[in-house]
């Protein structure tokens, strides 16, 4: 017959485990031990406090433009705490929670926003990519790294990030197309924080959800409450398990909210209402998880106070370490470009060094 | 020694590179079952399997972007752009990541990868299939831009490019893919990236070229010698970036005169860079203004006009005569 419905084999689910007030759905609650739960909370709190500190440092002119992440801590921590060291993570450009868990020092995280290339120097032994500035351009790298794992017959996986705005880019389409065709062990996490600078989610795409875009690429998508760290953890771990077992990629849309500005260079009051922000503040992932942990008996006032003190000290040390290492050697911009350095670049380096010397700028050489 | 054309020589280099390193992975459109639209990858999927000779979906951005990911993971991807005119859909990955990753991560990750692209005119193709945009890549820090001119150096330079831990754009002059054969040694041979060669020695004038334009340049040099008793030296750049200033300046120090020849547009083209370097390094040896015989600053015409448009031996000879008359 010429006209009939096509049956599409796919699944687009929604998952929420902790509600806005921290009440748990016991049927869906993952069985995680107290140490891991406490660690997740500690990392979310550290991420939040570091974010607050970085915003302050920007306001004081001690770092450059900063992209805050307040409200998105659960997406970041929930996505990566279950990974192995040999797995890879691929960042977009505001995942300091991921970096903190994966072993980047606070000093190194600050360095990027302070204007130092060292902020992108992935620490030895850490299988991450650094901040990728052009939106969505990191997505094919997720597919490529995962493809490499498949070619090398490893059971490792890649978890990578993009924002809601990034789903409109061609790289999103291409990366997910390839991931589906070659069934690579990749988990694509969309941090849907509702706003791409001033463009709201509904103006980004007419698609009802971002998760359903997976259907077009031939794999499963799931939408989770991105302010519920347990839901993020469960959805990502299920996707990771499938990827390890050779069952291919998954798209996860984590619905969250950017409580602060896009970067310190814009004023969100120009494009969104305070009421909207207040509504989302009630869904804040950190107090929600704290409530759950207190109800479980994993956390009490004393522990929270100790954590806060310890985190404040870590951040204080990180900032001090950064500010003790502000010297630059500008000629180093030549030193990492090539593995085999062309002679003409050596000449230009010498020319630059000589100019700096004439101008009285130290080169450290 | 075996006689072969450039297609066969590049095929040989790919086979040799894949044999010596199991991390070498080929990605491209129609390179597997179909063995490439120019048959450059003939037999490779059969020999090395679908996992190493990959027929990708039709998306240049993901071919290069995924290759960046593979290079991060330590593999040695070799991408094929079906035509260089389609590489702009991948340019953000080339400029944004392939050329930057090593620098960005302070050397933590190398970008040991190659993008092969057939470029240039002469095959009676439709729009977007005949351009020479090597200057775009040469202008881009962090890349190396290699353009062979014949079967033997194509094989040797491709092996060197794949072995390199730096990202290489490898332009293949498709106009001469099958134009002639050369002796190619049986044993693996490489040539250094970044080194030009003197393809013909001479003492009166230096003709500087590369890629498909080397042939008319050599022809012009022979004619000048036979018909006018002029001894023309020909320098074949082979690598456009990093450019071998020493060899071109050394030649012009000897001859005092230079003509630069390429297919790509003139303004900010490779010839402009060659000229600037000669002004900087060989000014006091120059006896005459440097001339450029290049594509004009217009879009490459549709193929009914392409033979008229492409620089030829007659135009090169004419420019050489004028330069010698100063």
B39: left (phi over 0), alpha (psi -120 to 50) or beta: left
Number of A–B residue contacts, CB under 8 Å: 138
Three-state DSSP at A159 gives strand
Could you report the per-residue pLDDT of B127-171, keeping only the tens digit for each?
999 999 999 999 999 999 999 999 999 999 999 999 999 999 999
My answer on whether A313 and A340 are in the same domain is no
> What pLDDT is attached to residue B1?
81
My answer on whether A90 and A159 are in the same domain is yes
My answer on whether A73 and A134 are in the same domain is yes
Could you report the per-residue pLDDT of A276-290, keeping only the tens digit for each?
999 999 999 999 999
Contact B259, B291 (CB under 8 A): yes
Vertex B182: Cα angle to B177 and B187 (nearest 5): 110
pLDDT band at A365 (very low <50, low <70, confident <90, very high): low
CA nearest neighbour of B320 among B202, B207, B235: B207
- Looking at the complex, does the CB of residue B61 fall below 8 Å from at least one CB of chain A? yes
Contact across the interface for A338 and B102, Cβ inside 8 Å = yes
**Minimal Cα–Cα distance from B165 to chain A, Å?**
6
> What pLDDT is attached to residue A8?
85
Residue B108 tokens, joined: 């933590």
My answer on whether A152 and A120 are in the same domain is yes
Residues making up chain B, counted from first to last: 326
| Alpha helices, DSSP H, located in chain B | 6-20, 44-48, 60-72, 91-93, 101-104, 134-138, 151-163, 214-228, 245-255, 270-282, 306-309, 313-325
Residues of chain B neighbouring A151 (CB-CB closer than 8 A): 25, 51-52, 70, 75
My answer on whether A269 and A361 are in the same domain is no
- Flag whether A2 is in a domain: no
- Flag whether A137 is in a domain: yes
- Flag whether A6 is in a domain: no
Residues of chain B neighbouring A144 (CB-CB closer than 8 A): 65-73, 77
**Minimal Cα–Cα distance from A236 to chain B, Å?**
21
Could you report the per-residue pLDDT of A94-138, keeping only the tens digit for each?
999 999 999 999 999 999 999 999 999 999 999 999 999 999 999
Choose among B102, B105, B144: nearest Cβ to A130.
B105
Contact A57, A319 (CB under 8 A): yes
Three-state DSSP at B142 gives coil
My answer on whether A224 and A199 are in the same domain is yes
Domains of chain B: 2-184 (3.40.50.970), 197-325 (3.40.50.920)
Is the pLDDT at B189 greater than 70, yes or no?
Answer: yes
Which range is least confidently modeled, A10-24, A33-47, A126-140, B286-300? A10-24
- Residue B234's φ and ψ, nearest 5 degrees, are -120, 125
- Residue matched to tokens 């979310």: A44
Contact across the interface for A174 and B62, Cβ inside 8 Å = yes
- Flag whether A365 is in a domain: yes
Q: What is the mean pLDDT of residues A30-58?
A: 97
**Euclidean distance between CA atoms A56 and A62, whole angstroms:** 9
Could you report the per-residue pLDDT of A266-316, keeping only the tens digit for each?
999 999 999 999 999 999 999 999 999 999 999 999 999 999 999 999 999
Task: Note the ipTM here.
Answer: 0.97
pLDDT band at A74 (very low <50, low <70, confident <90, very high): very high
My answer on whether A202 and A333 are in the same domain is no
- Looking at the complex, does the CB of residue A344 fall below 8 Å from at least one CB of chain B? yes
My answer on whether A344 and A216 are in the same domain is no
- Looking at the complex, does the CB of residue A149 fall below 8 Å from at least one CB of chain B? yes
My answer on whether A20 and A163 are in the same domain is yes
- Looking at the complex, does the CB of residue A153 fall below 8 Å from at least one CB of chain B? no
My answer on whether A142 and A214 are in the same domain is yes
Contact across the interface for A142 and B62, Cβ inside 8 Å = no
Q: What percent of chain A has pLDDT over 70?
A: 99
My answer on whether A289 and A249 are in the same domain is yes
Q: What percent of chain B has pLDDT over 70?
A: 100
- Flag whether A141 is in a domain: yes
What is the overall mean pLDDT for chain B? Answer: 98
Is the pLDDT at A361 greater than 90, yes or no?
Answer: no
Strand partners, A221: A12, A251
Contact across the interface for A137 and B141, Cβ inside 8 Å = no
Residues of chain A neighbouring B161 (CB-CB closer than 8 A): none
pTM assigned to the model: 0.97
Contact B165, B112 (CB under 8 A): yes
> What pLDDT is attached to residue B179?
97
Choose among A151, A343, A344: nearest Cβ to B25.
A151
Is the pLDDT at A204 greater than 90, yes or no?
Answer: yes
Which residues of A are catalytic, by number?
Answer: 258, 262, 271
Contact across the interface for A137 and B164, Cβ inside 8 Å = no
**Euclidean distance between CA atoms A356 and A365, whole angstroms:** 11
> What pLDDT is attached to residue A9?
80
- Flag whether A3 is in a domain: no
pLDDT band at A11 (very low <50, low <70, confident <90, very high): confident
Residues 6+ apart with CB under 8 A from A358: none
Q: What percent of chain A has pLDDT over 90?
A: 95
Could you report the per-residue pLDDT of B2-39, keeping only the tens digit for each?
999 999 999 999 999 999 999 999 999 999 999 999 99
Contact across the interface for B70 and A177, Cβ inside 8 Å = no
DSSP letters, B264-314, are EESTTSHHHHHHHHHHHHHGGG-SS--EEEEE-SSPPPPGGGHHHHS--HH
Could you report the per-residue pLDDT of B106-125, keeping only the tens digit for each?
999 999 999 999 999 999 99
- Flag whether A128 is in a domain: yes
Is the pLDDT at A249 greater than 90, yes or no?
Answer: yes
Number of structural domains, chain A? Answer: 2
Q: What is the mean pLDDT of residues A170-182?
A: 98
- Flag whether A269 is in a domain: yes
Contact A342, B242 (CB under 8 A): yes
Domain encompassing residue A365: 329-365
CATH at residue A209: 3.40.50.970
Could you report the per-residue pLDDT of B232-272, keeping only the tens digit for each?
999 999 999 999 999 999 999 999 999 999 999 999 999 99
Strand partners, A261: none
Is the pLDDT at A363 greater than 70, yes or no?
Answer: no
Contact across the interface for B65 and A174, Cβ inside 8 Å = yes
My answer on whether A129 and A258 are in the same domain is yes
- Looking at the complex, does the CB of residue A139 fall below 8 Å from at least one CB of chain B? yes
């Amino acid at each position: 017959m010429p006209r009939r419905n096509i049956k599409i084999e796919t699944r687009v689910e929604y998952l929420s485990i902790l509600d806005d007030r921290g009440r748990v759905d016991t049927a869906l609650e993952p069985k995680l031990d107290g140490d891991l739960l406490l660690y997740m909370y500690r990392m979310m709190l550290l991420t939040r406090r570091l974010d607050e500190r970085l915003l302050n440092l920007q306001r004081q002119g001690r770092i450059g433009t900063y992209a805050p992440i307040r409200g998105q801590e659960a997406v970041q921590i929930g996505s990566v705490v279950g990974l192995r060291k040999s797995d890879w993570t691929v960042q977009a450009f505001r995942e300091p929670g991921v970096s903190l868990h994966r072993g980047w020092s606070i000093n190194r995280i600050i360095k990027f926003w302070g204007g130092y290339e060292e902020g992108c120097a992935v620490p030895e032994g850490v299988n991450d990519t650094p901040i990728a500035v052009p939106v969505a351009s990191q997505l094919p790298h997720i597919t490529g790294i995962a493809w490499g794992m498949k070619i090398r017959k490893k059971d490792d996986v890649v978890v990578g990030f993009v924002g809601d705005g990034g789903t409109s880019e061609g790289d999103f389409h291409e990366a997910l197309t390839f991931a589906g065709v070659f069934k690579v062990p990749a988990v694509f996490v969309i941090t849907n924080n509702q706003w791409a600078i001033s463009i709201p989610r509904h103006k980004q795409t007419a698609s009802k959800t971002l998760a359903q875009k997976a259907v077009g690429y031939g794999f499963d998508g799931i939408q989770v409450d991105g302010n519920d760290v347990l839901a993020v953890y469960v959805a990502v771990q299920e996707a990771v398990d499938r990827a390890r077992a050779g069952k291919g990629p998954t798209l996860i849309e984590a619905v969250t909210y950017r409580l602060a500005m896009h970067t310190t260079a814009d004023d969100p009051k120009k494009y969104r209402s305070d009421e909207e922000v207040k509504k989302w503040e009630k869904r804040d992932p950190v107090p929600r998880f704290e409530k759950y942990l207190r109800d479980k008996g994993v956390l009490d006032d004393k522990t929270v106070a100790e954590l806060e003190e310890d985190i404040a000290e870590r951040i204080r040390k990180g900032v001090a370490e950064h500010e003790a290492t502000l010297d630059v050697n500008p000629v180093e911009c030549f030193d990492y470009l090539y593995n085999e350095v062309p002679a003409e670049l050596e000449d230009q380096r010498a020319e630059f060094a000589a100019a700096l010397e004439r101008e009285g700028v130290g080169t450290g050489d | 020694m075996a006689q072969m054309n450039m297609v066969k020589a590049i095929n040989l280099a790919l086979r040799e590179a894949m044999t010596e390193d199991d991390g070498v992975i080929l990605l491209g459109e129609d390179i597997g079952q179909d063995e490439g639209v120019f048959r450059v990858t003939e037999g490779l999927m059969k020999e090395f399997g679908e996992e190493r000779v990959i027929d990708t979906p039709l998306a240049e951005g993901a071919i290069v972007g995924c290759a960046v990911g593979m290079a991060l993971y330590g593999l040695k991807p070799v991408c094929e752009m079906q035509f260089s005119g389609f590489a702009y859909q991948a340019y953000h990955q080339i400029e944004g990541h392939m050329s930057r990753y090593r620098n960005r991560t302070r050397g933590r990750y190398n970008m040991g990868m190659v993008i092969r692209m057939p470029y240039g005119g002469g095959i009676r193709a439709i729009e977007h299939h005949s351009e020479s945009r090597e200057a775009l890549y040469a202008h881009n820090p962090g890349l190396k831009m290699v353009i062979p001119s014949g079967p033997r150096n194509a094989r040797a330079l491709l092996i060197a490019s794949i072995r390199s831990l730096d990202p290489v754009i490898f332009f293949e002059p498709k106009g001469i893919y099958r134009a002639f054969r050369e002796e190619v040694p049986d044993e693996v041979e490489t040539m250094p990236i970044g080194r030009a060669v003197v393809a013909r020695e001479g003492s009166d004038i230096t003709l500087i070229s590369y890629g498909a334009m080397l042939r008319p340049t050599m022809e012009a040099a022979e004619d000048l010698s036979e018909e006018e008793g002029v001894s023309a030296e020909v320098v074949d750049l082979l690598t456009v970036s990093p450019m071998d200033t020493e060899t071109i300046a050394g030649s012009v120090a000897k001859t005092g005169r230079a003509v630069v020849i390429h297919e790509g547009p003139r303004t900010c083209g490779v010839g402009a860079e060659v000229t600037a370097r000669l002004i900087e390094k060989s000014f006091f040896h120059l006896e005459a203004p440097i001339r450029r015989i290049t594509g004009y600053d217009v879009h490459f015409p549709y193929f009914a006009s392409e033979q008229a448009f492409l620089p030829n031996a007659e135009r090169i000879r004419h420019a050489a005569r004028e330069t010698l008359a100063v």
